Amino acid sequence: MLTKEKTNFTMNKTTGYLLLLALSGWTLISCVSQNRFKESQQLTDFYRMEIDSLRGLTESGINESEFNYDQLKKEKKSTEMDLTVLQENYDNLKSYNNEILRKYDELLLQNKDLLNSSSTDVQQMVSRLSQAQSVNDQQARLIQRLESQIQSLQTDLSTARNTVAVTPPPPAPEVEVRTVVTNDCGEYQRQVNELNRLLADKENRLNGLRSKVNQALLGFTDADLSVTERNGKIYVSLSQNLLFASNSDNIDWKGKKAIRSLAEVLKQNPDINITVEGHTDPDGSAAKNWDLSVRRATAVVKILTETNVKPDRITASGRSFYYPIASNATAAGKAKNRRTEIILSPRLDQLYKIINE
């Protein structure tokens, strides 16, 4: 592409050729012969051809410059359009980013409120758990005392029977004493028979309850949960994998399904007391595991009460890692220990009444 300076140089060169041609013509006319005139004519034709060639080159350069200028204008316009589109996209992204930041700030505030609320709920629940645990301990001591009294009554009854059986007929004055002993033995026997009847009834009801619990929890694997009977109580053990993610107290949907199925059985047996115990493995600090076990037990209680199981039947407690059922030396043992147990036990009000009498 020829620049403006190149075009001016070409025009000045053309003008020089014309002046040279004029001088040559003047010299030929005035001073030279016919042959010299012909040579001059040939030279003139040559220069005219050069001039025409230069003029064509100049026009071609001008046209090429105009063509490149038009092309540059088109490219400039296209670039300006691209810049406009990019600016619009940038403005849209900036607006979208500002909206995201605003929503993020709102979520931070909501999360802060939830944390404050959850902390208060946990403190209140821990206080209630402590009170419930105290009541549960008192009931456990009372049961032990009653069982001791039952054993003592059975021993006394056996002794009285042996005494009556081996004692020879007493003299007439002792008839009244023998009658009193016989009456006492009859009363003891009545109480023991009533206790045995109540214990058998309790056992039958526990067996029926265990059957209903197993039926309600069909479809879950042995690795997820188990139902066992120990010491006159039914233990429903739910694994961490069924209920919670690691270090979390949010119950998974499968765990909620299992707890709600169990709640339907519990609503049909209102005289069954319910204890929910959270257990962990020893990983992490003791304080963290205590807190986690309590929060997990409380989370299960919330599902039970939301399913209309009466809260006054339920006791929740955290056991941390102090009641393992397997060795914590292996990963499999730790997995078994990370569990939540729902313990079902019949009320013994009638037994307490008979023993106190």
Query: DSSP states of 18-47 as a string?
Result: HHHHHHHHHHHHHH--HHHHHHHHHHHHHH
Give the tens place of pLDDT for each residue, 13-51: 555 555 555 555 545 444 445 665 666 677 677 767 766
User: What's the one-letter identity of residue 58?
Assistant: T
Give the tens place of pLDDT for each residue, 73-132: 777 777 778 778 777 777 777 787 788 888 888 888 877 777 776 667 667 777 777 777
d(Cα 157, Cα 35) in Å, to the nearest integer?
A: 172
The CA-atom distances, in angstroms, between 72 and each of 68, 75, 76, 87 are: 6, 5, 6, 22
pLDDT at 140 over 60: yes
| Host H or E run for residue 48 | helix 34-166
What pLDDT does 333 receive? 93
- Helices 4-31 and 34-166, axial angle in degrees (round to 10): 170
Domain 201-356 has CATH 3.90.79.10: no
pLDDT at 250 over 80: yes
Q: How many CB atoms lie within 10 A of CB 283?
A: 13
What pLDDT does 350 receive? 47
For the ranges 26-35, 202-211, 235-244, 320-329, the lowest mean pLDDT is seen at: 26-35
| Distance of alpha carbon 291 from the chain centroid | 18
Q: 60-83 burial string, b = 16+ CB within 10 Å, else e?
A: ebeeeeeeeeeeeeeeeeeeeeee
Query: Is 0.85 topped by the overall pTM?
Result: no
pLDDT at 340 over 90: yes
What pLDDT does 305 receive? 94
Give 183's pLDDT tier (boundaries 50, 70, 90). low
d(Cα 290, Cα 258) in Å, to the nearest integer?
A: 24
What pLDDT does 1 receive? 45
Residue 83 CB partners (closer than 8 Å, separation 6+): none
CA dihedral defined by 125, 126, 131, 134, rounded to 10 degrees?
A: 140
Q: Structure tokens of 127?
A: 């206080």
3-state secondary structure of 239: strand
- Domains of the chain, by residue range, sit at 4-85, 201-356
Q: Structure tokens of 202?
A: 């309790």
